[in-house]
Amino acid sequence: MKLSLSVRIVEAPCKTKLFVPFEELVRIAKETGYQAVCLRASAGGVDTPRSRLIEMRRCVEDAGLFVSMVTADFNVPLNNDHGPDSLRNIEPSLDVAEAVGCTLVRVCLKDRKDIPFARQAAVQAARRGMRLAHQCHTTSLFEEVEPMLKVIAEIDQPNFGLIYEPANLLLNGQSYGLETLRALRPYLVNVYVQNHRLNVAGTDELPTFCRGNVRFDHLDPWTPGGVDFEAVASALKQIGYDGTFTIHQAQGTQSADAARAFARGCADYFGPLIRHEST
C-alpha cells in the first residue's frame, strides 16, 4: 500500500482554507515518508486558476510524489445539501484532476435522486480516463454497507468506486473488519483513516441518517480504544488491497512544525502496519 497524506491535517475547521501552505505540506509529506498527497478544495479546486493547479502539480512531482485523489468542490467535504451539485456538472472537477495529474475524484450523494446524476457523471469521467468515488460517510447514501452496495449496483459504472473509511462505519454502527472489506473489495479505490472512539458523553457529535446523532471522541491515530487499525491493516492485506492509504485526520494543525510532527507520527505508526512483507 502507498501512504498518502491529506491536506486535511492542516485544514481550518471551515474546510475552505489551509493553515499551512500547500508547498510546505508537500515538503513535509516527502520528508516524513509518504508517497502521495490527497488534494482538497481548501488547497486547490474548481475555483482555483488552472495555472495555479499546474504549479501545484509541479511541486508534487518535483518532490517525487503524486496526487492520490482530488476533492475539487468545497461542498463535497462539507457534506451539505449542495454536496451532490458537482454530479450535475462534473467537468470542472475533472478539469482539476487533469491539471494536477490525478484520475480519481471524490463526489457526494445525499439522496436517491442523485443516483442518475452520479451515473451520468461517471460516464463523463470514463470518457476522460477518470474514476469517481464516494467515501463511507455519515448523512449520505453511503452510511451502511448493504445500502451502499445497492447504490453502487444502481449506478452500475465500472469507474465508480468506494473510499473505505472505518471511523465513519463505526459511527454508523457498521462492522469495518474483514467481512465488510471482502464485500467492498470489488469497488475499493482508496482508503481513508482517522480515529474515533464511540462515547455517549463524547466531546464531538455528528448526525447520521441511520442512528440519529452519535457522540464520540476524536483520537490521535495511534491512541487505543478507537478504530482497531491492526485489524484494518490485516484485513486490507488479506483482500489484496495495494492502493493508497490516506491519513485523513482533521487536526486543524496551524504550524508546519506541528504538521511535521503529526505526519511523522502517523507514518511511524501506519507504515509498519500496511507494509506488505516480501516472500
Q: Which CATH architecture does the domain made up of 2-274 adopt? A: Alpha-Beta Barrel (3.20)
pLDDT of residue 236: 98
3-state secondary structure 119-134: HHHHHHHHHCCCEEEE
Report the predicted TM-score, pTM, of the whole model to 2 decimal places: 0.96
pLDDT of residue 252: 86
- Strands 104-106 and 160-164, sheet pairing: unpaired
Which cell goes with 156? 452500475
pLDDT of residue 205: 96
pLDDT of residue 232: 98
What sign for the dihedral angle of Cα 239, 190, 166, 254?
positive
pLDDT tens per residue across span 9-45 = 999 999 999 999 999 999 999 999 999 999 999 999 9
- C-beta separation of 189 from 243 below 8 A: yes
Write down the domain spans for the chain. 2-274
Q: Which residues of the chain have pLDDT under 70?
A: 277-279
Which cell goes with 102? 490525478
